[in-house]
Amino acid sequence: MRVAVLASGSGTILDAMLDAGIPVEVVVVDRPCGATEVAERHSVPWEFVERSSYGADFDRDAYTRQILDVLDKYDTDLVVMAGFGTILAPAMFEVFDGRILNTHPALLPAFKGWHAVRDALEAGVKVTGCTVHVATAEVDAGPILAQEAVPVEPGDTEATLHERIKAVERRLYVQTVKEILERGSVQ
């Protein structure tokens, strides 16, 4: 399976995947970010598909077509989202139906959305965690592939809890992707 990684952030998940030997064909970023430096360090090509608008004028369909064009150019079979910040149009999930993975810093279906760690702390839960799931057009709603709990410790802040979740996330996500590649399919 030919793997493409979509990233928007520091690249720590990408780095963990590449360190573990996951064969990434291309990294696609939507903004300048650390993931491009990680890709370069591992000699993986990367493409910048700039998201130039964050307002009401953002054309999600046109942007998604640009992403799909890049993925097609690299004959992508499996898309791995690694902190990718742009929600894509339904066409993405039609073309790669059941073949887009994502990770989320909570035990889905609890605490969906961008502020899952903050929401878990505000709710006063004693346990949260991370989830690896199939991404669908409905955000954080796809089939769950793997989960692992992370205890909330007294005095945790959003930053401290998120760092512990990220440590688990990097290991669990890599393990899940490796299993998918070994069997040759997501399910």
Same-domain status, 56 and 75: yes
Same-domain status, 29 and 7: yes
Number of domains the chain is built from: 2
Q: State the pTM of this model.
A: 0.94
pLDDT tens digits, one per residue of 62-77 = 999 999 999 999 999 9
Same-domain status, 14 and 79: yes
The CA angle 114-117-5, to the nearest 5 degrees, is 50
Which of 66, 64, 102, 80 is CA-nearest to residue 26? 80
Same-domain status, 61 and 145: no
Q: Does the pLDDT at position 179 exceed 80? A: yes
* pLDDT of 154: 95
Question: 107 vs 67, 77, 118, 145, 169, CA distance in Å?
Answer: 28, 27, 13, 12, 11
CA distance 104 to 53: 24
Same-domain status, 128 and 178: yes
Asked which of 37, 72, 97 is the last residue of a domain, the reply is: 97
Same-domain status, 79 and 116: no
84 backbone dihedrals φ, ψ, rounded to 5°: -75, 125
Strand pairing of 46-48 and 24-29?
Answer: parallel
Same-domain status, 80 and 116: no
pLDDT tens digits, one per residue of 97-126 = 999 999 999 999 999 998 999 999 999 999
Same-domain status, 165 and 124: yes
Asked which of 47, 71, 97 is the last residue of a domain, the reply is: 97
pLDDT band for position 187 (cuts 50, 70, 90): confident
Same-domain status, 50 and 115: no
Report the CATH number at residue 140: 3.40.50.170
Same-domain status, 168 and 106: yes
Query: Which residue in 42, 104, 115, 133 is the catalytic one?
Result: 104
Helix (H) or strand (E) holding 166: helix 158-183
In terms of residue numbers, what domain contains 72? 1-97
CA distance 155 to 90: 41
Same-domain status, 13 and 86: yes
115 noted as active-site residue? no
Same-domain status, 82 and 114: no
Computed over every residue of the chain, the mean pLDDT equals 96
pLDDT tens digits, one per residue of 32-60 = 999 999 999 999 999 999 998 889 999 99
